[in-house]
Structure 1
Amino acid sequence: MYRIEEPFYFYLLAIIPAIIVIFLLVFWWKKRAQKKFANADLLKKLAPNSSTFKSVVKLVFLLLGITFLVISLTNPKMGTKLQTLKREGVDVVFALDVSKSMLAEDIAPNRLEKAKQIISRTIDQLGSDRVGIIIYAGNAYPLLPITTDHAAANMFLQNASPDMVSSQGTAINEALELAKTYYNNDEQTNRFLIMISDGEDHQEETKEVAQTIANEGVKIYTVGVGTENGGPIPMRLNGSMIGYKKDSKGETVITKRNAAVLEGIAEVANGSYIDGNSTNTPVKFMADVIANAEKNEFETTQFSDYKDQFQWFLAIGLFFLIIDIFLFEKKTKWLRKVDLFGEEKSNK
């Protein structure tokens, strides 16, 4: 398994398109200047060994060299062996509502982004606890299985969106049922399910399903995002705002937070309901609850003994740059016979 120690340096790759643009501009300028200086036949006689192909090849080697040098700066590391560790913690599963109503902007930046902030910051407060993520709208799907890799959890979380779920709605019951499959440690006595939603479009018998899970030892905490006054659901096309969602009568749909549903779920499942419009409130609350919970020991396997691999990328990058330095733009004898760009035909 690989690990990138300094991913910030990937931003340096932005110079590659800049170099390509400069190359094209200089190439265009040269061609234009040459046409003003002499016609094609005369240019052929004055510079018979001029080669566009070799100029492009030199550019490719230069760009490859820069790319590998940038990768070497990020210092890739590779785990050389698997190690089994013993840890103590609890199991925490997040169920994130990604229905269209979560795009409402009655809280900044919108309900879904606020929910992601809460989950991400809660994960950052955890120690060696295991986490899992479920997303749901009209259906529920596993986004990330239970794991101790908190970095992976945050990475998968950022990709969660309504587009990942095929049908719309709020399948709370299905999300609750799916959560039951996440707790694969029979010896774990503390299991937490944190549901973050606006509570809208809830299903019947939600409390009964929550009660069943609670009887299996899972404590459910619900976090409500959105306001009681609500807000419209923005519609976007290719990232651009095109209006708001309307009903069959052409009226703008106003989505409101339904805290009563979330409160009812938490009440029957030995948990609590927390207002999520302020990020710090649920994060601090859940961090305190989990910190004070009894921890169980479990085993986890992970890669260890990560070793630096930058030297390989550095060597390859220098190799391409050296080739670029010693590669001339003039045609070689064998290249004169290879007319890849139709240079010979264009000059006849």
Structure 2
Amino acid sequence: MYQIEEPTYFLYLAIIPVIFVLFFLVLWWKKRTQKQFTDYNLIQKLSPSSSTFKSILKITMVSLALGFLIISLTNPKMGTKLETVKRQGVDIVFALDVSKSMLAEDIAPSRLDKAKQIITKIIDNLGGDRVGIIIYAGNSYPLLPITTDHAAAKMFLQNANPDMVSSQGTAINEAIEKAITYYDNEAQTNRFLFIVSDGEDHEENTITLAQEAQKEGIKIYTIGVGSSEGGPIPMKNIGGGISYKKDSKGEVVITKMNEQVLKDIAYEGKGKYINGNKTQETINHIKDILAKAEKNEFESKQFSDYKDQFQWFIGFGILFLIIDVLLLEKKTKWIQKLNLFNQTDPLNNSK
């Protein structure tokens, strides 16, 4: 398992293609200038040992050396063994609504983007807690199993979109059912389910499922995103333009947040409904909830004993620099003596 300590240094790798571009521009300029004063055959007679290939090889060596030295600056590390460590925390599952109505922009930048912002900031404030993510629309889909890898959770979260779920709707029922199976029954941790949704197009029996989840020790908190005034649902056209979803009568559909259903789910789940339209207030509220929760000890596996590996890249960088120094821009004499292509010496060429 690898870690990169300073990934920002990778940006300096952009210097390498710039070096190549400048090198070939200078090479082109030299050839063009030479042609203005004399012809190719005379140049070959005046400098028979000149080698364009050697010049390209040398700039390649320099570029490789530079590349390895830049990578060494990022200080790559490798975990040498997998250890079981004890942590204290709670288990949190996020059920994210990715139905088409979440694309509405009545809350900037959109309901879905607002939901992702909230979940990302909650994850940023977690300690040793474990996190899982479920996405749902017409059906539910396990996006990330419960894990202590918060970086992976945020990465998977950013890729969540309506196209990942095969059918549309708002299958809160399926999301709750799947969430119940997410938790480790052997680890007696406090369990939280955060449903982030606009509450529209909910199904029947949702309240019953919320009660069942509560019996399993899962507290359900609902976070509403959207406005009561609502907004149209943007749809991408084949040509790349934007239109808005219309009903069978050809009128633009206006989607509105349904706070009441989210409040009912939270009430039956022994949790609380939180209006998520004000991001920072929502984060502070959830931080307070989790801070007051009893932390339980559980075991998790992770790589440990990370060792610096930068010295290998420095070594390769120095090696390529040495090769560059030893390489001459002239043609190699022993290769010339082989005369692989049956060429005649331009200085001894007789008529």
- TM-score by shorter chain over 0.5: yes
Contact 2:88 2:297 in 1 (8 A): yes
Give me the TM-score of the superposition, normalised by structure 2. 0.86
Name the CA distance, whole Å, in 1 between partners of 2:309 and 2:115: 37
Residues 82-126 of structure 1, C-alpha deviations (whole Å, 9 max, x = no match)? 322222221111112223332332222222222122112112222
Contact 2:104 2:255 in 1 (8 A): yes
Residues 30-73 of structure 1, C-alpha deviations (whole Å, 9 max, x = no match)? 33323333333334334434444333333332222222111111
The offset of 1:249, in angstroms, is 5.3
Contact 1:219 1:271 in 2 (8 A): yes
**Aligned residue pair count:** 338
Q: 1:205 to 1:331 in 2, by over 3 A?
A: farther
Q: 1:76 to 1:244 in 2, by over 3 A?
A: same
Superposed CA RMSD: 2.6
Contact 2:89 2:189 in 1 (8 A): no
State the match for 1:277 in structure 2.
277
Contact 2:235 2:245 in 1 (8 A): no
State the match for 2:243 in structure 1.
244
Name the CA distance, whole Å, in 2 between partners of 1:185 and 1:272: 24
Name the CA distance, whole Å, in 1 between partners of 2:113 and 2:31: 51
Name the CA distance, whole Å, in 2 between partners of 1:224 and 1:51: 69
State the match for 1:159 in structure 2.
159
Q: Map 1:177-188 to 2 at 5 A.
A: 177-188=177-188
Aligned to 1:181, the other structure's residue is in SS state helix
Q: 1:129 to 1:43 in 2, by over 3 A?
A: same
Name the CA distance, whole Å, in 1 between partners of 2:232 and 2:282: 25
Contact 1:105 1:231 in 2 (8 A): yes
* Rg larger in structure: 2
Q: Which runs of 5+ in 1 are unaligned?
A: 340-348
Name which of structure 1's ranges 307-316 and 184-193 shifts more when overlaid on structure 2: 184-193
The offset of 1:320, in angstroms, is 1.8
Name which of structure 1's ranges 297-306 and 150-159 shifts more when overlaid on structure 2: 150-159
Q: 1:176 to 1:56 in 2, by over 3 A?
A: farther
- % of aligned pairs identical? 66
Residues 162-193 of structure 1, C-alpha deviations (whole Å, 9 max, x = no match)? 34334433332222222122101334252100
Q: Partner letter of residue 245 of structure 1?
A: Y
Q: Partner letter of residue 196 of structure 1?
A: V
State the match for 2:215 in structure 1.
215
Name the CA distance, whole Å, in 2 between partners of 1:16 and 1:181: 50
Name the CA distance, whole Å, in 1 between partners of 2:163 and 2:26: 43
Give me the TM-score of the superposition, normalised by structure 1. 0.87
Contact 1:244 1:252 in 2 (8 A): no
Q: Partner letter of residue 38 of structure 2?
A: A
The offset of 1:317, in angstroms, is 1.7
